Structure 1
Amino acid sequence: MRAALAALACAVAMTGASAQAQELRFSDLAGWETDDHRAALQSFLQTCDLIEGADWRPLCNLAPDAAASDRTARQFFELFFRPVLIGDPPALFTGYYEPEFSGSPTRTPRFAYPLYARPPELRDGEQFLSRAAIDGGALRGRGLELAWLDDPVDVYFLQVQGSGRIKMPDGSVLRVGYAGRNGFEYRSVGQEMVRRGTHRPDEVSAQEIARYVRAGASDLLSINPSYVFFRKLDLAPELGPIGAMTRSITPFRSVAIDPAFTPLGAPVWIEKDGPAPIRSLMVAQDTGGAIKGPQRADIYFGTGPAAGDAAGTVKDSGRMVVLLPIDRAYAAIDGL
């Protein structure tokens, strides 16, 4: 999808997706005046040079000078962008994080559940082995194991998050990141719990899914045939995991979106409701198998257990507004 960005005028038309688009004013964005625009601009600069499309390049050239202060950063966004609401709110916001688990570089009686590297014969967009087949040993003995964990639930949630840190017995830390998936559509374990009648929608969270599966419902994991493979990452400890744009992402400034509707690299204004409201400018720097639709986003919360506790309970409504270069914004609105 990203390859089409350079040739076509707007995010929605570029991918053939269909949604309504409405231009807003910056004064329509609740909390816009009080956000840290400089922090958002610094996150935008991390991946600006990777955005495809000639209309982005002049903005990326001007952005470093605008990062001098919050005032100049806000002026930069207000001068060169227009807020565009794509699709119909309410949005669905969830959260994700970079988990930390104990592990081993070799299999032991305790650490018996593998994280697999991408098999060389895997082809993007084509179905490979299902989760059930892989968990049943279809890849065993091929030397694809990057590390071993002590809990199949941890392996599953590492795949859902797409990246993680594995602390080895000698104290070293292995960073792993997304390397591909097996081509099967993602199915939600939480939705399956609701369908079976064991939980109400408001009872489902990452923490509750983990608790319930560990309590004896391990068969639930196999209802999701999608399987994620990993690669080793050489990253400084202070850097976040690698997002879909091949750069490190930033807590509360990076968000995963559906690139069929939102260009990767674009600033997005988040108005998340719920118990912990968020009114903040973030950057569309990641994607996810469960992130589908123009008003669907996954907010990156950071690394470790505290980030996981916070991210795992987020399932809130609100709206997401994309900031597009002026000509692209008008094309999006005129073309829909």
Structure 2
Amino acid sequence: MVLGFYRRVVCAFRISAIIGASLLAGPLASEVKYQVLSFDELEGWAEDDHAAALETFLNTCKDMKDPDWGAVCSYAQSGPDPREFFELLFRPVVMDDGKEALFTGYFEPELDGSLTRTDRYRFPVYKMPKEAKTNRPWLPRREILESGVMDGRGLVIAYVDDPVELFFLQIQGSGRIRLPNGQAVRVGYRGSNGHNYRSIGQELVRQGIYQPHQVSAQVIKNWVRRNPVDGKELLYHNPSYVFFREVSKVPAHKGPLGAMNRSITTMRTVAVDPSFVRLGSPVWIEKDGKKPLRRLMIAQDTGSAIKGAQRADVFFGTGDEAGRAAGTLRDPGRLIVLMPIQRAYALLPESAI
């Protein structure tokens, strides 16, 4: 029965190739070197909770429309042994684009806010204006906030009390805004103004204010609050600006919506660069540093600062504790993508097969 299913997966892959579906993740694939590994080469593989990874995979795999992925997802829904499922139908693939691996963390912030502007709540969380969708790039951060172009257009979702937390909400891409009546508004990423992200942490290092090892999200927040004038200019150093949409229909016990428009899972979802990694793919994480992490996650999200084949952002959950953990993460390691077998071997040159 399992062998018969495997043959159907291979057939589905061949159909996908015939109808022109891309074997690779995106336009940069030709610049990448690939290496197919065995599962024995994945450090800590046998000790992971494969059932938790399979549950997270099932949350988004039905949205992967290629025939081979559809066949894999169909089998995943039949209740297979989790570890055997991944080992039978996938092969681990290392992608090398010439850049060093970097793992960071992200979380869902919780901000204090109001649906109306007050003396305390005066920093707007904006929807995306129509011209920002078509004019690329659109206005940089400074002009969006200082030119008055957003005023009086019904583009405000809510007002918050801290511009620094709002800046980091844009970096995270989603969050909750707690209202004075105890209710909450959940917002998710809608789009950006098209400008490339520029790191304000690196700018603090360039100015000689901190050394690289000293910089974290909390350090940046504290410095901006202590230096409101220079802090405002520091935030303007990043011309990228993120717009939001309201997603409050997502149940409170579930995670925020990721790039696949499904709730993401704490410590099982990872954000990747979709130019290299197909969203929905299982990804094996070998993160080094002070707290090594060896875990099977699912690529269900992305972000403006996540660029490269070996770049990944681990989702730590919601709230201040998750934020503190995510904010200190900046470690090397290795990212390995699990691909359906035929898709994995199709990436190799003939001489390597």
Question: Above 0.5 in TM-score?
Answer: yes
Q: Distance in 2 between matches of 1:6 and 1:47?
A: 23
Report Cα offsets for 1:98-124 as digits up to 9, x if no partner: 000110101000111000011123326
1:213 alignment partner in structure 2: 224
Structure 2 counterpart of 1:179, which letter?
R
Q: Does 1:299 align with 2:314?
A: yes
Residue in structure 1 matching 2:143, options 133, 136, 156? 133
Q: Distance in 2 between matches of 1:51 and 1:201?
A: 39
1:154 alignment partner in structure 2: 165
| Higher mean C-alpha deviation, range 84-93 or range 249-258 | 84-93
Q: After the TM superposition, which residues 1-336 of structure 1 pair with which residues of structure 2 at under 5 Å, given as runs?
A: 7-11=21-25, 15-16=28-29, 18-66=31-79, 72-87=81-96, 90-123=100-133, 126-136=136-146, 137-216=148-227, 217-233=231-247, 234-334=249-349
1:15 Cα deviation from its structure 2 partner: 4.6
Return the index of the structure with the highest Cα Rg.
2
Q: Distance in 2 between matches of 1:179 and 1:107?
A: 22
| Higher mean C-alpha deviation, range 130-139 or range 280-289 | 130-139
2:11 alignment partner in structure 1: none
Report Cα offsets for 1:50-99 as digits up to 9, x if no partner: 124221111010002235xxxx1000000000000001574100000000
Preserved CA contact (<8 Å) 2:99 2:308:
no
| Higher mean C-alpha deviation, range 196-205 or range 38-47 | 196-205
| Higher mean C-alpha deviation, range 137-146 or range 258-267 | 137-146
- CA 1:15/1:49 → structure 2, altered by over 3 Å: closer, same or farther? farther
Q: Distance in 1 between matches of 2:134 and 2:336?
A: 30
Q: Distance in 2 between matches of 1:66 and 1:273?
A: 33
Report Cα offsets for 1:170-191 as digits up to 9, x if no partner: 1111001011111111111111
Q: Distance in 2 between matches of 1:93 and 1:304?
A: 20
Q: Distance in 2 between matches of 1:11 and 1:183?
A: 21
Runs of 4+ in 1 over 4 A off after TM superposition: 14-17
TM-score w.r.t. the length of structure 2 is: 0.89
Structure 2 counterpart of 1:149, which letter?
V
Q: What percentage of aligned pairs have identical amino acids?
A: 52
Unpaired segments of 5 or more residues in structure 1? none
Q: Distance in 1 between matches of 2:117 and 2:271?
A: 33
Q: Distance in 1 between matches of 2:275 and 2:177?
A: 33
Q: Distance in 1 between matches of 2:37 and 2:59?
A: 26
Q: Distance in 2 between matches of 1:79 and 1:93?
A: 28
Q: Distance in 2 between matches of 1:201 and 1:6?
A: 46
Please state whether the residue corresponding to 1:122 is helix, strand or coil.
helix
RMSD of aligned Cα (Å):
1.8
Please state whether the residue corresponding to 2:68 is helix, strand or coil.
coil
- CA 1:21/1:54 → structure 2, altered by over 3 Å: closer, same or farther? same
Unpaired segments of 5 or more residues in structure 2? 1-16
1:159 Cα deviation from its structure 2 partner: 0.5
Q: Distance in 1 between matches of 2:94 and 2:186?
A: 36
